[in-house]
Chain A
Amino acid sequence: MSRFKDKGSKGIPAISTASLPDIIFMLLFFFMVTTVMREVDLQVKVTLPEATEVTKLEDKALVDYIYIGPPTNTLLGSEPRIQLNDQFANLEDIDTWVLDGISRRPEVLQPKITRSLKVDKETNMKIVTDVKQELRKSNALKINYSTAQGR
């Protein structure tokens, strides 16, 4: 009888937390490996349109982004603006931006650069068409209409 009683009185031993750091480190390494630092502060609001026939952009290092949408700062109005790198830009700046993007990369990779257009879905086509024309003039022909994955 007393044997059973002894067992009961011992209580549940505390769970060892010795492996907790290991678990956390594992998670940490996962995020460190998968992380891509946000390079730019968005000045424009972009809600991407949905599409089903999408191709994944394989090499993020070979993608330059153009953002088009209404400014996040409402004081600047709601007319869609173009953002290149960290600031608002005009159509005339695209050429310089393209050349800058090319000169940052090694020569062998230069033809593989894709320009990804992240355009707000409410935007009119006029500004998009204008940007496309500028890209054509700068001979930046490989483009991607960035979309959210639909079903």
Chain B
Amino acid sequence: MLKRAKKHPPGEINAGSMADIAFLLLIFFLVTTTMDTDAGILRLLPPIVEEELEMDKVKERNVYVVLVNDADMLQVEGEPMDISELRAGAKEFMTNPNNLENLPEKTRITATLARQEIANFTQYAAAATDPETRTSYVKTKERWEERLAAVEKLGEYMELPGSAVISLQTGSKTSYDMYVKVQNELEAGIRELRDELAQEKFGRKFTALDDKMEEDQHLIKAIRMVYPQRISEAEPVEVGKSQ
């Protein structure tokens, strides 16, 4: 008897149900899976500061005031505006192509100017006795070094004043949809400017630059120096209450 059993090879396992088992698992993962990749508009909130910023320090021409009232209507720089014009408006604010009085005054950054300022601030920092003043000088020097790096990549450029900012304020009943639309338009305006500059200087769009490559990282940094993204998530202010 034993001998006979040995002669026969062991029967093959029926693999016919394999497909069913795999199907079962497949359906489970199909149901539980969420394919949506989360995407959105990234923002950095300002930290809470103890002392209030002096408003008169920031010149009025350097602030692009965007107000959205409770009825989702837009007021930009004191004038009512349709959302379709906002992108162009933001671009004009960032570039000030006609050197208008009511838009930010830009300063020309050249390599010689940057080198000179770096030398100046290195001297000041060395001469400073107070550690606090020294760090502030060193910081200014570093800022100029960044500018020099940008000039080396892009050539001379016009820089926005440090206080130039797009200030977005909403009413308490403004819809979130409108808020995101406005944010989107402002973001689009800045992105278009950056794309145009990158296309002109490097033959590639800004959005096509790869932030994982070291070479591109410098280019990204340089372009961000020219067109910084300054959309202020300002303190909540009651807007359009009385109107």
Most chain A beta carbons < 10 A, residue from B25, B29, B34, B43: B29
Please state if B48 and A136 are interface contacts (CB–CB under 8 Å): yes
Q: Please choose the segment from A81-89, A93-101, A142-150 that sits at the chain B interface, where 4 or more of its residues have CB less than 8 A away.
A: A142-150
Contacts of B187 in A (CB 8 A): 53
If A120-B176, A121-B175 are given as contacts, then 7 extra A-B residue pairs at C-beta distance below 8 Å, sorted by A number, are A28-B26, A31-B33, A53-B187, A57-B40, A123-B175, A142-B44, A143-B45
Docked Cα-Cα span, A8 to B32, in Å, equals: 49
| Interface of chain A residues 125 through 151 with chain B (CB within 8 A) | 125-126, 128-129, 132-133, 135-137, 139-147, 149
Residues of B within 8 A of A (CB): 15, 18-19, 22-23, 25-26, 29-30, 32-35, 37-48, 170-177, 179-181, 183-184, 187-188, 191, 233, 236
B22 and chain A: residue at smallest CB distance? A24
Would you call A56 an interface residue if the criterion is a C-beta within 8 Å of the partner chain's C-beta atoms? yes
| Alpha-carbon distance A55/B211, docked complex (angstroms) | 13
Which residues of A come within 8 Å of B, CB atoms? 17, 20-21, 24-25, 27-28, 31-32, 34-38, 49-57, 60, 63, 114, 116-117, 119-126, 128-129, 132-133, 135-137, 139-147, 149
Chain A residues within an 8 Å CB radius of B40: 51, 54-55, 57, 116-117, 144-147
Say whether chain B's binding surface is mostly helix, strand, loop, or mixed. mixed
Minimum Cβ distance to chain B for residue A98 (Å): 12
> How far is it, in angstroms, between the C-alpha of A116 and the C-alpha of B216 when the chains are bound?
28
**Residue among B19, B47, B176, B187 having the largest count of chain A Cβ atoms under 10 Å:** B176
Given contacts A24-B22, A136-B45, A145 and B33 within 8 Å (CB-CB): no
CA distance A2 to B183 in the complex (A): 80
Query: Are B174 and A53 within 8 A (Cβ)?
Result: no
Q: Which residues of A contact B179 (CB under 8 A)?
A: 125, 128
Q: Are B26 and A27 in contact (CB under 8 A)?
A: yes
Minimal beta-carbon separation of A37 from chain B (angstroms):
6
